[in-house]
Amino acid sequence: MSLVIDAHVLHAYPLSNLNRDEFGSPKIAVLGGVERTRISSACQKRGCRINTETVLGERALRTRRIPEKVATELRDRGWSDQDALDAGQAIALTAQFSGMKLAEAGTTNYMLFVPESAIADLAELAVTYRDLLAQAADHARAQAEAAEKTQTKSKAKTKTPTLDKATKTRITELRDAVRTVLCRSNASIAAFGRMLANTPEATVDGSIAVAHATTTHAGEEQPDFFTAVDDIPGTDNGSAHMGQHAHTAGTFYRYATINVDELLHNLDDDHTMARDLTHAFLTEFARHVPTAKKNSTAPFTPPALVHLTVRTDQPMNLSGAFEAPVTADDTSGWTTPSITALDRHSAAVNAFLGDEHLLAAAHSGTADLTQVTALGTHIPRLDNLVTTITDTAFTQAAEQ
């Protein structure tokens, strides 16, 4: 049995460009034979993660700049600029993660995902092992070069630094200590997961999954020709720049699911932290608005409908309600028929699967929801809705 919370949101965004492709146009997807506007799962997850961390007061950093951050910490402790920079880079290399090395800019060649507190802990290790850092970095580089030549079947020999037994032992201690810090987890990592190739001890299976959001209806890109006016006009009558941007508008179906069992496992059965994270994430996901081009479109609308469920079988994505795109007339808009389609599809799913695994279902929102019949109890306030669903899930979790 899996204990899961599903979040279904219908959200009408105004004219905007919430998630751009490589050409600057709104992202799209083809569903049901028609083109829809899309917001990627990564876009939604990052925004929700940052806001959830703010609520919890505990950050995680997804970054290539750990050497730079450690160097800054060491400068604050009185180290010279060069010593701090060398130490930050050496600490990162000393982890000896497979395939990890430094890019020309001094960053790691791929991103790491660590608790923010890891920076101070790595700096402390740099202080403790200051006399060993240069040797440890050289050793790590030689090990990485040898491994790369083995993979490419190169016959060229790698010159490995000659180290005495005591130094090798200390380098191994430092490597293990750095790995322990970099493999540490916190609430965000427990929720969204972490993967480092060939480093299973750092891998965390995320307990939150987020789907790409798509419009419930066919989408159409709308061009916006614009000009910028110079406040000090000359012979050009003040024209400084002109161009064209692409925008869309529409009602999106957004979906996320939380595996409560997996979340508790990742948090070492800390029910208080898991409950707080769940409440914060559900709240942030329900009202999430991507911030791309926010100053020129101000797309900060509330959701039309938020539907939350607690299930004991498996996650249940209800995007099938919109496989056939909804249509609108000049009085209905897209939101009302989208709510109707979701309500009917939910009723069909419940009739098909039965309700023995459906522990709770409730809904709220800003649209007219008086005709809703299959989305559970209506709870007007978002906070009360989230609290009710969270309490139901964690009461069940405590009884398992």
Domain range enclosing 148: 62-185
Query: Angle at the Cα of 360 (from 354 to 362), degrees rounded to 5?
Result: 110
The Cα–Cα gap between 9 and 307 comes to 6
Q: Are residues 216 and 314 in the same domain?
A: yes
**Residue 206: what residue type?**
G
Asked if the structure places residue 236 within a domain, the reply is no
Q: What pLDDT digit, counting tens, does each position of 255-310 carry?
A: 999 999 999 999 999 999 999 999 999 999 999 999 998 999 999 999 999 999 99
Asked if the structure places residue 378 within a domain, the reply is yes
Query: Angle at the Cα of 301 (from 296 to 302), degrees rounded to 5?
Result: 160
Domain count, the chain: 2
Q: Are residues 76 and 150 in the same domain?
A: yes
The enclosing H or E element of 363 equals strand 358-364
pLDDT of residue 92: 94
Q: Are residues 36 and 88 in the same domain?
A: no
Q: What percent of the chain has pLDDT over 90?
A: 77
Which of these, 306, 282, 49, 85, lies nearest to 187 by C-alpha position? 49
Q: What pLDDT digit, counting tens, does each position of 150-161 carry?
A: 666 666 665 666
Torsion of CA 210, 214, 216, 219, to 10 degrees: 170
DSSP 236-293: TTTEEEEEEEEEEEEEEEEEEEEEHHHHHHHTTT-HHHHHHHHHHHHHHHHT----TT
Q: Are residues 149 and 263 in the same domain?
A: no
The enclosing H or E element of 73 equals helix 66-76
Band (pLDDT 50/70/90 cuts) for residue 99 is confident
Q: Are residues 133 and 262 in the same domain?
A: no
Under 8 Å CB-to-CB from 244, ≥6 apart: which residues?
223, 224, 225, 226
Q: Residue 230 above 90 pLDDT?
A: no
pLDDT of residue 244: 87
Q: Are residues 43 and 93 in the same domain?
A: no
**Residue 306: what residue type?**
V
Q: Are residues 257 and 354 in the same domain?
A: yes
Q: What's the whole-model pTM score?
A: 0.92
Asked if the structure places residue 239 within a domain, the reply is no
The strand pairing partners of 8, in sequence order, are 255, 307
Which of these, 131, 65, 123, lies nearest to 91 by C-alpha position? 123
Task: Examine the fold and report which residue of 154, 185, 216 is the final residue of a domain before the chain moves on.
Answer: 185
Q: What pLDDT digit, counting tens, does each position of 327-356 carry?
A: 998 888 999 999 999 999 999 999 999 999
Decide the pairing of beta strands 239-259 and 112-115: unpaired
